[in-house]
Structure 1
């Protein structure tokens, strides 16, 4: 009887490890589409590229209130917003200003 109990325990551990490994490889934060509408620079506090496992190539903008917006990668307005956010990060770090202009911005 004991060998069958050991086999069941081994199979449970094996299946648990397999499903845990499989589920950790699925990207959970992917953009399904991107907006072609221009997003105002003053609303954005941060950005990052979408992970490589996603089907859509996108830049994820994070607003000052924490919302995530998906934008196309190779658009001129997207590059303009990214430069603006980079400048804000440097400014907010340099002067350690915590007013309206730096709300939600995480300095580099």
Structure 2
């Protein structure tokens, strides 16, 4: 009877530990957005959205530079939409024909 009780205790301990650990995973969120001058779209190689209510407190568009820096920008700015369109074009260009010029430095094509 003792080995079964020990196994149950170990299982309960592991379950509680894993649950607490997973609940404490920090989110990487933008806390504010930059509302200054538009950025040069050729410096941006990836774009993704941050939606409030999904672990973060504000809506933002995260622009990733060629060097891997994340920049938080407002989603409602027209120039941000232009940058998004440019990134989509750039990913398609870098995916086809194995184009590997300076233009594709830092670009990770999406294979969906």
Q: Give the TM-score range, shorter chain.
A: 0.7 to 0.9
Partner of 1:47: 47
Out of 88, 92, 95, the position equivalent to 1:93 is: 95
Aligned-residue CA RMSD in angstroms? Answer: 2.2
Tell me, in whole angstroms, the C-alpha distance in 2 between the residues paired with 1:58 and 1:75: 10
Query: Residues 76 and 16 from structure 1, CA distance in 2 versus in 1: closer, same or farther, beyond 3 angstroms?
Result: same
List runs of 5+ in structure 2 lacking aligned partners: none
Q: Deviations over 1:42-71 (max 9, x none)?
A: 110111112521001001111001110011
- Helix, strand or coil for the counterpart of 2:32? coil
Compute the displacement of 1:105 (Å).
1.0
Compute the displacement of 1:14 (Å).
4.9
Compute the displacement of 1:11 (Å).
6.3
List runs of 5+ in structure 1 lacking aligned partners: none
Out of 81, 84, 87, the position equivalent to 2:83 is: 81
Decide which moves more: 64-73 or 14-23: 14-23
Compute the displacement of 1:18 (Å).
3.3
Runs of 4+ in 1 over 2 A off after TM superposition: 5-15
- The TM-score with structure 2 as length reference comes to 0.78
Tell me, in whole angstroms, the C-alpha distance in 2 between the residues paired with 1:18 and 1:45: 36
Tell me, in whole angstroms, the C-alpha distance in 1 between the residues paired with 2:87 and 2:55: 25
